[in-house]
Amino acid sequence: MFTGIVQATCEVVAINKKDGLNTLEIAMESELREGLITGASVANNGVCLTVTRIEDNRVFFDVMEETLSVTNLSELKLGSKVNIERSLTFGTEIGGHILSGHIHSQAKVKQVSHTDTHYDIELEVDQKWMNYILYKGFVGVNGCSLTVGKTHTNGFTLHLIPETLKLTNLDEAQVGEYLNIEIDSQTQAIVDTVERVLAQRGINASV
């Protein structure tokens, strides 16, 4: 489990590509590697991956074909920066919201608006996920726990603060790129339950 509070952006220093499998080598500072062991879970751009090896300052992760097909990890290149979060430790303060590291979809960057007073990113996502993405609700974007600033028919807008831009790779988002999306599990459970109850009573929730 994760909180969506990104601890650092780390560089991809090598990618070993095989049939149906990519092995990522991520350079991590000593503070992030402290206590890290083989088999531990680490979120990379919001994707829960298992540590397969640690050598010096490099941490290795295997990314399976299914994960490559549904996340933006397939687009990583040498030098790419990924958002890194170690798994949640019992008793740790939760500053974001609970994330599982299981990506539901990807959102396309439609527009980036950057001025002296704001930094907004407009995202487009498959409309079926908009049932769970609500104004002022939580959503995981590249592993970041963020509040939805505005919703549209087929997407939403994020208002990003300087601290988020400093600590994550969202300041590098370009129009046309895709970001990993994990919807809030509690929101999904509530919406699905309400729709199921209404359907049982013959009420159309979309009316």
Q: Is residue 56 domain-shared with residue 128, that is, in the same domain? A: no
As a whole number of angstroms, the distance between CA 23 and CA 73 comes to 11
Structural domain span for residue 14 = 8-86
Q: Is residue 81 part of a domain?
A: yes
Q: Is residue 115 domain-shared with residue 171, that is, in the same domain? A: yes
Q: Please tell me the total count of domains within the chain.
A: 2
User: By 3-state DSSP, what share of the chain in percent is helix, strand and coil, each rounded to 5?
Assistant: 20, 40, 35
Q: Is residue 201 part of a domain?
A: no
Question: By the 8 A CB rule, do 15 and 38 touch?
Answer: no
Predicted TM-score of the model (pTM): 0.92
Dump strand ranges (E) for 33-137.
41-44, 47-55, 58-64, 81-86, 105-114, 119-124
* CB-side neighbour CA atoms (13 Å) of 141: 31
158-194: pLDDT as tens digits: 999 999 999 999 999 999 999 999 999 889 899 989 8
28-83: pLDDT as tens digits: 999 999 999 999 999 999 999 999 999 999 999 999 999 999 999 999 999 999 99
Segment (H or E) for 32: helix 30-33
CATH number of the CATH domain containing 69: 2.40.30.20
